[in-house]
Amino acid sequence: MRISPFALLVGTVVLAGGSAAAFNLSMQANNHGNSNAAASTSTNRRDFLTKTSAAVAASAMSLPKVAIANDADPYADYTTTESGMKYLVTKEGDGAVPSAGQLVKAHYTGWLDEFDSPKKFDSSRDRGRPFQFKVGAGQVIRGWDESFGTMKVGERRKIILPSRLAYGDRGAGGIIPGGATLYFDVELLGIL
């Protein structure tokens, strides 16, 4: 039995990334009727399939990632300060802006990973008790001093703090890992 060049071409599998693998179809023709040859052909096919599967998986992992339209920056509307803090005003305030050293009352919710993620680590809103601190006095993380020092009473913001404006490489309380970017929804309720 003679195998045409077309039959050999059909036995070739072209893999992603331009590499190719093939098994020898001509063995069937040369070994027709020989039971040992049939077992050998079966093993060769099995080897081919195993090697091809591994090659396809390796090729798929090395393919470049395709950008999807939904991958647009979800924080493109945010303002970025010189320090690297990002914020978005979600409710305009109409009151005064606190001066350094003034005591303020605020509500907040904080998350790891992103806003509204399952990794909420703290919330004064959930407790129903606003938080009080002196703005610009170093009583809170640097990103809070920066944000609350520019907010009007009644204003609500979403802020994104890189780790250097939050807890840095040390993290906090076994809950916030070192190097974590923090996401807060903050509201300035009043100046006391």
Residues acting as catalytic residues:
108, 121-122, 141, 167, 184
Number of CB atoms found within 10 A of residue 80's CB: 11
Where does residue 48 rank: exposed (0-12), middle (13-18), buried (19+ CB within 10 A)? middle
- 148 CB-near residues (< 8 Å, 6+ apart): 98, 104, 106, 135, 186, 188
> Is the distance from CB of 79 to CB of 86 less than 8 angstroms?
yes
What are the structure tokens assigned to 53, written together? Answer: 């599967």
> Is the distance from CB of 116 to CB of 147 less than 8 angstroms?
no
Closest by CA to 84, choosing from 168, 172, 177, is: 168
> Is the distance from CB of 111 to CB of 183 less than 8 angstroms?
yes
SS3 22: strand
